[in-house]
Structure 1
Amino acid sequence: MSLENICRNRTTVLAQHEGKSTRINVNTTCEKIKKWGNEFNLPKIDLMDKDVAFDLLNKKREMYSICSNCYVPPTVMSAYWIENEKIPKDVAKKYEGVDITFEEVK
């Protein structure tokens, strides 16, 4: 997954399932995200029961003062979910891009 954030930083997230865990690599131009981490080894868990991986990433997010509007942590989780078949890969490929439109409500 690759994205260009509202802050104009560019980030690529790669996920690879390895046995009982998923390795996540983050390549970014953002200094805060670089401090947050560029490699995570997250356990494969039942995401419907408790999202331990999300809790781990959120704690690190607070430690490194990542911007509240940062798309990288949710992108890491999306890559994790796709790699662990919680989001089907064929669906993700079909909708390979995500567009966010900001509209004024009148």
Structure 2
Amino acid sequence: MAKTRDNKRENVSIASEIDRLEERRGRCQDNLERAEFKNRKTRLSEKERQELENEMAIINERVQKLDKELAMLRGENRKNMLLSVALLTISAVFYYIFFFNEDDT
């Protein structure tokens, strides 16, 4: 099952993967804010408060994990962009050398 999931992710672009992770992070952040609001505004028993704090800790861990994944994907996206710019520059140089220098001879 995990292998199939990884194969599907390989076919997804980095930009769409970044968008997907940012959406998940946004949902986690909303859940965290809701839990914090509930913690501040409602009277909870000690057990309910502890459960809510545990849930908030889990959500914080998820947000941190998503932040790390996003940083990694953004770095990968930067490398791909630099590679594209380098290839475009090399292509432009070869185009200039072969087509504009032919006119000189």
More helix by share: 2
Give the TM interval when normalised to the shorter protein: under 0.3
TM-score (normalizing by structure 1): 0.24
Q: Which has the larger radius of gyration?
A: 2
Which protein, 1 or 2, shows the higher relative CO under an 8 Å CA cutoff with sep ≥ 6? 2
TM-score by length of 2: 0.24
